[in-house]
Chain A
Amino acid sequence: MEQFVGQIMPYFTVAIFLGGVTWRLWRWMIPRIMHNITLSPFPGTWTAAVTWWVWQIAIFWNILKFDRALWIGAFPFHAALIAIIAGHAMGIYTLGLQFHMIAPLLVSADLSVWLSDLLGTTMGLVFLVAVLYLLYRRFTVEKVRAISSTSDFLHLFLLLTIAGLGNYMRLVPDAHTTYLEARTFMAGLFTFNPVALPQNAFFMWHFFFVQCLMIIFPFSKLMHVFGFFWMRWMVNRPFKEWAPGMPGAKVQVTK
């Protein structure tokens, strides 16, 4: 089992993830934008349009504006998720020295590790609480439950499991895995010389469920990460209007 999860499965996972995402995006590009379905007010330029998309992503503006109760869960959930993904990559790769590397004069090596731990722990907990909040909401708010299918709950349970295992490893000293152990293992995978998983059952399950998430990613609503851009490309874009002024009329618009 450990050998399969740690040394064989990851290659299939990555292939399915990348292949699946590519296939889905390819599918989206086959049908055309048949009509101009721009939402107004129209952005004046492409710069304005892209700024609007970025604004939406940066603070989840529509959710904040139209459903505050959802925003309280959704925004911390996504913000923490991004921090966690970046934290995993940076923390494991640099062994917690990322802040020291970014600003060596301001942050000492020890401080960087401390910051990395602090941020990782905080974000892990924020994420866990946010998932629980969203899960609670999906169960209890009638309008949300009415439109949910089983998979919508399962996605959240999967994230809850992953985050739960991650936090457990962080917070319980006996279950801890060091950055170095993780890096050694990941380096093995990346250099196609897979080595054994660290001797830690929590790590193995954490790693297994993350792979499950990556496998279902292309075949689920999780693709909304890309869908955002595909849809905004259609509905938030510049539109050139005809100027007012009636040819031949006695009264004309003056500048």
Chain B
Amino acid sequence: MSTETAKGLRQPKRANEKLFRTLGIEPVPDEKKVEEAIRHLDDFRNKLRSFVVTMENCVKCGLCADNCHTYLGTKDPNNIPAGRADLIRKAYKRYFTPQGKLFGPLVGAEELTLETLEKWYSYFYQCSECRRCSHTCPFGLDTAEITMVGRQILFWLGIGPQLHTATAGAILKTGNHMGLTKAGIIDTLEFLAEEIEEDRNGLKVEFPTDKPDSDILYIPSSADFMLNPNTLKGAGMFFKWVGANWTMSSRITEAGNFGYLMDQTRIQREMVTRLYEECTTLGIKKIVWGECGHGWRAAKMYVASYSDLPGVAKIPMTHIHDEVAALIESGQLDLDPTRNSQKITLHDPCNYVRACGLCDQMRVIMRAVTSDFVEMTPNRERNFCCGGGSGVLFDDPAMYEYRILASNKKAEQVRETEAEVLCAPCSICKAQLYPMVKEHKLPVEVVGLIDLVGHALVFPEE
């Protein structure tokens, strides 16, 4: 596609055709793109009810505008959730509705063009699928569903960001987004165990990998091996404290799911299938998920409808926060909140609070492991996205600038709390908030929630 059409549009760096071919996608030539996109739209219209109902019922009241962090940050009308959905809706009306066929622009119907597809690529990768629009919409219309359809069609056409496409490629090869090999994983885990031993007076924590006959399969975010090691250490300490027979799997060392973010067919399905294969090979009785927002949603809410394997519905699956909170509530854990005595606030990851019902649990843990917890406003299911949701973590200059704009609202919220520590229990939030804190000059440290749990756990042998 020409760069001319993309002028003025913020777009992440594209994956090249070779990379798409490794994922089984033959990029569609420009002259065929529009036709193919319409064919896919027609497919979705006959397949996905959330898409159809959201397409046909928006009354353009504009309520979503000021409830979306991307619009608040950029003031671009295409970043109003209703406006963003219109990028598809205009074509939808033109090709699939009588009023659009008859009256065209009068009813907001428009031919699909290559330029529009360029806009799709720009704006559907600015949306973070946080669903605050759906939460606030008077009808509950879910614009994240539209973003997902847009990204999926773009993927099938051979258009996608380098970041997402390469990450999706990595997961097929190595079982995690970071491209870590089994040797690398074991090496890192040994190193983490040594660190704990040094920091905690010789406390010995094991991090089993691919251990047969385990009861619990822990799914860590692969970012925890590199960027957020304290989260992984915290999980290890927690499992040791409760004496669980647990393991991680080197085939699926990934709580996230970039398939969910760009290709909800082949790649997301692969992750789900692997998950259950690992359960059967390792004799798993329960899956416990690590700190990752979109990944937990992809697992908790989508696994049942995505897996081809019949055992899916039978293996229980919880989030590590569910487990920690339940033990705290029944008074089973020995925690010392004074070890986390700084003023601390909690960022609610969108996927936890608006899609997974994980909200009170985080508060139970916060109150038990910290001594000066302050809520930011708004919070819980009304919270704003960090600005990096759905993997919008691009480093190219225009997109990086966008990320910082999209985090304006979050920075304002954090500043108002005057906290010294910002707890963000989600890998993408963390990856977004590290630069956000820097660029907005916020005097806070970003940590995960399980980091704090690990720190507060009191071991008799310490």
Q: How far does the alpha carbon of A148 sit from the alpha carbon of B99 in the complex, in Å?
A: 16
Out of B57, B136, B302, B381, which one reaches A40, CB within 8 Å? B381
Partner of B357, one of A150, A151, A241: A241
The verdict on A103 contacting chain B, using a C-beta distance below 8 Å, is: no
* Contact flag A220-B107 (CB < 8 Å), given A232-B140, A253-B327: yes
* A19 interfacial contact with B, CB 8 Å: no
Q: Are A223 and B242 in contact (CB under 8 A)?
A: no
A219 within 8 A of B: yes
Query: Quick check: is A136 within 8 A (CB to CB) of the other chain?
Result: no
Considering the complex, which residues of chain A in the window 1-40 have a beta carbon less than 8 Å from any beta carbon of chain B? 24, 27-40
Kindly provide the distance from the CB of B255 to the nearest chain A CB, expressed in whole angstroms. Answer: 16
B8 at interface by CB-CB < 8 Å: no
Which of A66-74, A92-100, A168-176, A200-208 contacts its partner?
Answer: A66-74
**B357 close to A146 (CB less than 8 A):** no
Q: Which residue of A lies closest to B108 (CB)?
A: A149
Q: Which of A170-221 contact B (CB under 8 A)?
A: 216, 219-221
Residues of B within 8 A of A79 (CB): none
Inter-chain contacts of B355 with A (CB < 8 A): 37-40
- B353 at interface by CB-CB < 8 Å: yes
The contact of B139 among A41, A228, A241, A249, by CB within 8 Å, is A228
Do the beta carbons of B58 and A41 come within 8 Å of each other? no
A236 at interface by CB-CB < 8 Å: yes
Query: Are A141 and B62 interface neighbours, CB within 8 A?
Result: yes
CA A147 – CA B327 in complex, angstroms? 49
A80 to B140, CA, bound (A): 23
Q: Answer whether A242 and B49 are a contact pair too, CB < 8 Å, given A40-B356, A66-B136, A151-B108.
A: no
Docked complex Cα distance between A221 and B71 (Å): 23
B357 A31 Cβ-Cβ under 8 A? no
Structural contact, B304 and A231, CB atoms closer than 8 A: no
A83 touches B (CB below 8 Å): no
CB of B180 closer than 8 Å to a CB of A: no
**A250 close to B242 (CB less than 8 A):** yes
Q: How far is the CA of A236 from the CA of B353 in the complex (A)?
A: 14
B215 touches A (CB below 8 Å): yes
Contact B305 A34 (CB under 8 A): yes
Q: Report how far A223 CA is from B139 CA in the complex, Å.
A: 12
Given contacts A147-B86, A151-B106, A239-B357, is CB(A247)–CB(B139) below 8 Å?
Answer: no
A102 in the interface, Cβ–Cβ < 8 Å? no
Q: Is the CB of A254 within 8 A of B50?
A: no
What residues of chain B lie closer than 8 Å to A254, measured between beta carbons? 330-332
Binds A, one of B40-48, B194-202, B387-395: B40-48
**Contact assessment for A150 and B106 in the assembled complex, using a CB-CB cutoff below 8 Å:** yes
Determine whether the beta carbon of B140 is less than 8 Å from that of A235: yes
Within 8 A of B (CB), among A234-255: 234-236, 239, 241-255
Q: Mark each residue of chain B from 92 to 116: 1 if its CB lies under 8 Å from any CB of chain A, else 0.
A: 0000011100010111100000000
Residues of B within 8 Å of A154, CB to CB, are 106
For residue B51, CB closer than 8 A to chain A, the reply is yes
At the interface with chain B, which of A55-63, A105-113, A158-166? A55-63
Q: Choose among A31, A67, A223 the residue that contacts B57 (Cβ–Cβ < 8 A).
A: A223
Assess A38 versus B301: contact at CB under 8 Å? Given A32-B47, A235-B140, A251-B242.
Answer: yes
Any chain B CB within 8 A of the CB of A133? no
Shortest beta-carbon distance from A146 to chain B in Å: 4
Query: Are A247 and B286 in contact, with the CB atoms below 8 A?
Result: yes
Q: How many residues on B have C-beta within 8 angstroms of the other chain's C-beta atoms? A: 82
Task: Give the shortest distance, in Å, between A150 (CB) and chain B (any CB).
Answer: 5
Pair A244/B47 contact, Cβ less than 8 Å: no
Please pick, from A243, A247, A251, the residue contacting B241 in the complex, using a CB distance under 8 A: A251
Residues of B within 8 A of A143 (CB): 62, 65-66, 71, 77, 80
B128 is an interface residue with CB less than 8 A from chain A: no
A247-B286, A253-B330 as given contacts; A231 in contact with B62, CB under 8 Å:
no
Q: Which of B47, B60, B80, B285 has the most CB of A within 10 A?
A: B60
Residue on B nearest A35 in the bound complex, by CB? B305
Whether A31 and B59, one on each chain, are in contact in the complex, defined by CB atoms closer than 8 angstroms, is no
Contact with A along B334-360 (1 / 0, CB 8 A): 000000000000000000011111110
Q: Give the contacts of B268-310 with A (CB-CB under 8 A).
A: 285-286, 288, 301-302, 304-306
- Is there contact, CB below 8 Å, between A253 and B243? no
Interface stretch, picked from B19-27, B28-36, B318-326, is B318-326
- Contacts A37-B301, A255-B330; is A221 near B52 (CB within 8 Å)? no
Question: B-contacting residues of A (Cβ < 8 Å)?
Answer: 24, 27-42, 56, 60, 62-63, 65-67, 70, 74, 141, 143-144, 146-152, 154, 216, 219-221, 223-224, 227-228, 230-232, 234-236, 239, 241-255
27 residue pairs from A and B, CB less than 8 Å apart? A34-B48, A34-B305, A35-B305, A35-B306, A37-B145, A40-B357, A41-B357, A56-B138, A62-B138, A147-B62, A147-B65, A147-B83, A148-B60, A149-B105, A219-B97, A219-B99, A230-B57, A239-B357, A244-B325, A244-B326, A246-B215, A247-B286, A248-B245, A249-B243, A251-B327, A253-B326, A254-B330
B positions within 8 Å CB-CB of A: 44-54, 56-63, 65-67, 71, 77, 80, 82-83, 86, 97-99, 103, 105-108, 131, 134-142, 145, 215-216, 241-245, 285-286, 288, 301-302, 304-306, 316-318, 322-323, 325-327, 330-333, 353-359, 381
